[in-house]
Structures are given as structure tokens and as C-alpha cells.
């Protein structure tokens, strides 16, 4: 009990510091674990090695179980091809580059293979939380990222099984992979038929659902152990089995506090078992981490755009995927436990994982994405000549309603020009022969280039309300009427105060829906049925 109390006390200190300093909790948990080890060595406080190992195993089980719950294959519907292309290209390119870099740094082939595998997948834990905070889970690029994470997790599970069977030879690897695929088939059956049937026919309360979820976790972990597979393979597949809607939401809500508790102890325990890295190990960690971030952002941005995503969505997806996974620690821990890699390599992989996870919230900001968009090759040759335009319409941001807006302007014989900062959107508009300019709609020079001050109307559908307000300020002396799309009532007030005309999305959508219902006689039919 003393060991548990010490770990909990260290976790409390880490979370308190994280809240006080407004820093991510994971690196502080690791630092507290390292400090705990130093303190234990100096004051002879006993935290048994067996306890630390148990906390790492339980924490990893909760990590991969939670990751599986968040990855429903239904989110891949309609985007299967681009998801597969992005997932495979990132996994193979980053993993191969990492392994080759390790060989160039004189690591042994088996160690280089472990490093490459550890670098090849991205973190479900970090990415899902980020998408949830920004409410982007159901946006096109959010679905792309979740699909990529699901495939990469499957790849990394199979790779881990193969790596652990490697000392026994190729036949043993093939048998182990076949067993893992068979257990995956059971998880698919549970995901597709068993869990939905239970959700529909059995009215379970919260306690029964929680016990059922934990029971499934133990069942799959036990089956994996009986098959000679790492029990963590069963943990991931148990989470996948529960990822069907609405069970995934129920389980995620019930397990959030439990998983948070064990994950905190996990990072404390990992910090306590880390080997203090040498200067060379720190240098190599920086090399691998920098390589991972640069290659992932560039590769995903290019490949996603080639498969049909916009430049902004492609860059944001690349930034979100530019970290290593909780599965990286899982692979490293398994390799260290079997003696295939040293404790120092385990520490290096942990440093890379925690470092890139910590960086993700900082580099995934809108300003970073906008900066990278500005570095994208531009399509100046195809931009239209707007010098002769007068009393025209200027569309600031093409958005989802751009096509319908332009069709309406064409029907009324109104000249128009589109301003958008997304290179992929501009390229498509050029191919359609639409007059356009690539740039920031809140930039004075871009507005002048579009003759916005001589326009009749300006339609603003920019993503950020702050950009729209900046454009309004620049257009304050223009004769044009400025219509701004808004999503929140407070934004509508700000637009109105700045001299613009807000178009509130929710009321406009509701009115359009009612008009459509009336036009198609749905309301009339329902009223006559009631009478």
C-alpha cells in the first residue's frame, strides 16, 4: 500500500503543477516519476519494481483499450480510398525512414526495426482529444484522421506480434499473426452483431454497462494470453468491439475517470523506470522527433491533397498526425521485456513519444496551419484579371456554399470574383474558369487586387470570425454592402457593430428547411393527417 500511496501522491503533485502552470500533464507526470526514482534512491523509499511493472501493464491496457473504443470503422464510410492511401503511405514512409536513420546512426538491425515501428504510428489518445476539444470529429479531415489512426493501430498491433515472435523464426511469426487476425475476426463479429444486439435488446444501467465493458476487456485479454499473444492485443480488440455507436459514447463516458486514473499512474511508473539518457541519446531523440514531424506534415499534406482534400484540411491532418503513438511505448516495453532492445532504447522511444505528444497542441494551432498554407505553391498564372470589374460581387472564402452562391450570382448576371487562401480550392476554381485570387480576404492588398472597394456586394464566409471583422474594418469606407456568415449570436452583434450585415446560419438554415418542407407538401400532408 505504501507504494500505491507514493505513486498517487506523485500524480497529485504533477496534476497540480500542470493546472498551476497551464502545461500538459503527461510530461509533468513523467518528471515526477523520474524525481520519485531519484528520491527513492536517496531516501531508501521502497517502490517495488514489480509494482511499477504492473502499473505500466495496466496503464498500457487502458490506453490501448480506450484507443480502440474511439476508433469506429463507420467513420471511414465514403472515404475508404483516401484513408488507406494516407495511412499506408505515412506508416511505411515514416517507419522506413526511421529504421534507415537508426541504421545510419549505427544501431543494430533489430533495434533499428523497433525504432522504425515505434515512429510509424500516430497517437489516438492525443488526436481524438484534440478533435473533441475543437468539435472537429465529424469534419471531413477529422474523419480522415480517425480512419488513418484505426488502420495504423491495426498495422502496429500486427507488427508487434511479429516482432515478439521474431526470435522463434518465420513460421512462428506467421502463426502468431494468424492467431491475431483470428482474434480480430471475433472482435469484428462482436462489433457488428453482438454489441448492437445487446444495446438494442438489453436495458442495462450504468453499473451493468461498466461491468460488461470491463468484462469484455478481461475476456479478450485472457483469450489473447491463451493464444500466446500479448494481452494488450486483446485489450485493443476489446475496445474496438465496443466502438459501435451508441455503445462507444456510453463506454467512453463511464471509463473516462477510471482510464484517467490508471493512465496517470502509468506515466508516473514509466518515468520511475526510465534510464537517465546520455547526451548522445538526447541528440538522437531530437533527430528522430524532428524527422518524424517534418516528414509526417509534408507527406500527409501532399498525399491528402492529391486524394481530393483541401489544402487546409490536408495540412491540419498532417499536423495532427505528427507524433508517435501510445503503441510506441507498448512496442518498446515489449521489446525491453523480452531483451530485444536495451533500457536506454526504451527510454529514447519514450522521450520521443512524450515529446511529440506534448508538442502537438502547440503546433496544431490555426496560426501554424495558416503559415504553412502560405508556403504552398501558388497558382498565379491561372488567376483572373479583376482590374476591369465594377459593381461586382466579391466572395471572401469559397466555403461549402460557394458553388450555390456563384450559381445564384450567374443567374442574376452579376460579375464576381472569389478570394480564398486554400491553394487546392483556387486550383479547382481556375480549372472551372472562375475568376479568383489566392490570398487572405482580410489583407488590404488582396482586397485592392479584387477591386473590393468598387464592388456592389461582398459575401464573407471566412472560417474565423476575427478575419471577417478585420475585413469589415478595411471595407468600412467601401460603398459595398458586406454580408457576413455567422454561427454565434455574439458574432452577429460584433458584425453589426462593425457595419456589416450578419447572416445567422442557424435561423437561415431553419427557414430554408421549412420552405423546402412546404414546397414539397410535407407540412401540408402532416397537417391534413392530424386533422
What's the CA gap between 132 and 446, in Å, rounded? Answer: 34
Q: What is the CB neighbour count within 10 angstroms for residue 206?
A: 10
Task: Give 396's contacts (C-beta < 8 A, 6+ positions apart).
Answer: 419, 441, 458, 459, 460, 461, 462, 468, 471
DSSP for 352-375 reads HHHHHHHHHHHHTSHHHHHHHHHT
pLDDT for the residue 524: 47
Phi first, then psi: give them for residue 501, nearest 5 degrees: -115, 105
> How far is residue 339 from each of residues 78, 157, 163, 309, 529, measured CA to CA in Å?
44, 19, 12, 44, 74
> What count of Cα atoms within 13 Å lies in the side-chain half-sphere of residue 121?
29
Task: Name all contacts of 341-347 with Cβ < 8 Å and 24+ positions apart.
Answer: 341/110, 341/111, 341/114, 342/111, 343/273, 343/275, 344/275, 344/277, 344/278, 344/281, 345/107, 345/111, 345/114, 345/115, 346/274, 346/275, 347/274, 347/275, 347/276, 347/277, 347/281
What's the CA gap between 43 and 38, in Å, rounded? Answer: 9
Task: Give 44's contacts (C-beta < 8 A, 6+ positions apart).
Answer: none
Count of all residues that appear for the chain in the document: 531
CA angle 287, 292, 293 (to 5 degrees): 105
pLDDT for the residue 382: 57
CB 123 within 8 A of CB 355: no
Position of cell 500486427? 158
Q: What is the CB neighbour count within 10 angstroms for residue 430?
A: 17
Q: What is the CB neighbour count within 10 angstroms for residue 270?
A: 27
Residue closest to 175 by CA, chosen among 225, 228, 220, 221: 228
pTM > 0.85: no
What's the CA gap between 328 and 134, in Å, rounded? Answer: 26
Q: What class, spelled out in words, does domain 381-519 have in CATH?
A: alpha beta
Phi first, then psi: give them for residue 93, nearest 5 degrees: -65, -50
Q: At the topology level of CATH, where does 2-374 sit? A: Na+/H+ antiporter like fold (1.20.1530)
What's the CA gap between 414 and 457, in Å, rounded? Answer: 10
Helix and strand numbers (H, E) in the chain are 24, 6
Query: What does the radius of gyration of the chain's CA atoms come to, in whole angstroms?
Result: 27
Torsion of CA 283, 286, 287, 289, to 10 degrees: 150
Packed helices 311-320 and 343-363: angle between N→C axes, nearest 10 degrees: 150
Q: What is the CB neighbour count within 10 angstroms for residue 174?
A: 12
> What count of Cα atoms within 13 Å lies in the side-chain half-sphere of residue 252?
20
Residue closest to 361 by CA, chosen among 33, 26, 10, 20: 26
How do the pLDDT tens digits run along the chain, 531 residues long? 677 788 888 888 888 888 787 777 778 888 888 887 777 666 556 677 777 788 888 888 888 888 888 777 776 777 788 899 999 999 999 999 999 999 999 999 999 999 999 999 898 888 888 887 777 777 777 888 888 988 888 888 888 888 888 888 888 888 999 999 999 999 999 888 888 888 777 777 777 777 888 888 889 999 998 998 888 889 889 888 888 766 777 777 777 777 778 888 888 888 888 887 888 999 999 999 999 999 999 999 999 988 878 888 889 899 999 999 888 888 888 888 888 899 899 999 999 998 998 888 888 888 888 788 878 776 555 566 667 788 888 898 887 778 888 888 888 888 889 988 888 888 888 888 888 888 888 888 888 888 888 888 888 888 777 788 888 888 887 888 888 888 777 888 888 888 888 887 766 555 555 565 566 554 444 444 444
CB 270 within 8 A of CB 27: no
Residue closest to 214 by CA, chosen among 16, 2, 69: 69
**Residue 484, SS3 per DSSP:** strand
CB 501 within 8 A of CB 484: yes
Position of cell 538522437? 284
pLDDT for the residue 526: 43
CA angle 165, 170, 173 (to 5 degrees): 35
The continuous run of DSSP H or E covering 104 comes out as: helix 80-104
CA angle 30, 35, 41 (to 5 degrees): 130
What's the CA gap between 241 and 235, in Å, rounded? Answer: 10
Domain ranges of the chain: 2-374, 381-519
Amino acid at each position: 500500500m505504501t507504494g500505491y500511496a507514493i505513486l498517487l501522491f506523485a500524480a497529485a503533485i504533477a496534476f497540480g503543477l500542470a493546472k498551476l502552470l497551464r502545461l500538459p500533464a503527461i510530461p509533468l507526470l513523467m518528471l515526477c516519476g523520474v524525481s520519485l526514482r531519484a528520491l527513492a534512491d536517496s531516501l531508501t523509499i521502497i517502490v517495488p519494481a514489480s509494482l511499477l511493472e504492473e502499473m505500466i501493464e495496466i496503464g498500457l491496457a487502458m490506453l490501448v483499450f480506450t484507443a480502440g473504443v474511439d476508433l469506429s470503422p463507420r467513420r471511414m464510410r465514403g472515404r475508404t480510398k483516401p484513408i488507406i492511401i494516407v495511412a499506408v503511405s505515412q506508416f511505411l514512409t515514416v517507419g522506413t525512414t526511421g529504421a534507415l536513420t537508426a541504421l545510419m546512426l549505427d544501431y543494430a538491425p533489430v533495434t533499428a526495426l523497433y525504432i522504425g515501428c515505434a515512429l510509424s504510428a500516430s497517437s489516438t489518445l492525443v488526436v481524438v482529444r484534440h478533435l473533441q476539444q475543437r468539435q472537429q470529429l465529424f469534419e471531413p479531415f477529422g474523419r480522415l484522421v480517425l480512419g488513418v489512426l484505426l488502420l495504423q493501430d491495426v498495422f502496429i498491433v500486427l507488427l508487434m506480434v511479429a516482432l515478439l515472435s521474431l526470435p522463434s523464426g518465420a513460421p512462428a511469426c506467421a502463426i502468431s499473426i494468424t492467431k491475431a487476425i483470428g482474434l480480430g475476426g471475433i472482435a469484428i463479429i462482436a462489433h457488428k452483431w453482438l454489441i448492437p444486439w445487446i444495446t438494442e435488446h438489453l436495458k442495462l444501467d450504468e453499473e451493468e454497462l461498466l461491468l460488461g465493458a470491463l468484462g469484455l476487456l478481461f475476456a479478450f485479454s485472457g483469450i489473447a494470453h491463451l493464444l500466446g499473444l500479448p494481452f494488450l492485443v486483446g485489450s485493443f480488440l476489446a475496445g474496438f468491439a465496443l466502438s459501435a455507436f451508441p455503445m462507444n459514447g456510453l463506454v467512453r463516458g463511464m471509463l473516462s475517470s477510471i482510464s484517467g486514473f490508471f493512465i496517470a499512474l502509468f506515466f508516473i511508473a514509466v518515468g520511475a523506470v526510465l534510464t537517465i539518457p546520455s547526451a548522445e541519446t538526447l541528440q538522437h531523440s531530437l533527430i528522430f522527433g524532428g524527422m518524424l514531424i517534418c516528414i509526417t506534415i509534408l507527406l500527409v499534406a501532399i498525399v491528402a491533397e492529391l486524394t481530393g482534400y483541401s489544402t487546409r484540411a490536408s495540412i491540419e491532418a498532417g499536423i495532427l498526425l505528427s507524433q508517435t503513438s501510445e503503441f510506441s511505448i507498448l512496442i518498446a516495453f515489449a521489446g525491453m521485456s523480452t531483451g530485444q532492445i536495451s533500457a536506454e532504447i526504451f527510454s529514447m522511444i519514450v522521450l520521443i513519444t512524450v515529446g511529440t505528444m506534448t508538442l502537438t497542441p502547440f503546433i496544431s494551432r490555426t496560426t501554424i496551419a495558416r503559415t504553412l498554407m502560405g508556403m504552398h505553391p501558388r497558382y498565379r498564372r491561372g488567376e483572373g484579371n479583376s482590374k476591369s470589374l465594377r459593381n461586382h460581387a466579391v466572395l471572401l472564402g469559397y466555403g461549402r456554399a460557394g458553388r450555390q452562391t456563384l450559381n445564384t450570382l450567374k443567374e442574376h448576371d452579376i460579375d464576381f470574383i472569389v478570394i480564398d487562401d486554400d491553394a487546392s480550392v483556387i486550383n479547382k476554381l481556375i480549372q472551372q474558369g472562375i475568376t479568383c485570387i489566392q490570398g487572405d480576404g482580410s489583407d488590404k492588398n488582396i482586397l485592392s487586387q479584387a477591386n473590393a472597394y468598387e464592388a456592389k456586394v461582398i459575401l464573407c464566409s471566412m472560417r474565423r470570425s476575427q478575419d471577417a471583422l478585420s475585413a469589415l474594418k478595411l471595407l468600412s469606407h467601401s460603398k459595398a454592402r458586406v454580408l457576413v456568415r455567422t454561427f454565434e449570436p455574439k458574432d452577429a452583434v460584433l458584425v453589426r457593430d462593425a457595419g456589416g450585415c450578419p447572416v445567422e446560419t442557424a435561423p437561415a438554415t431553419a427557414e430554408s428547411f421549412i420552405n423546402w418542407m412546404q414546397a414539397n407538401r410535407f407540412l401540408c400532408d402532416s397537417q391534413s393527417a392530424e386533422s
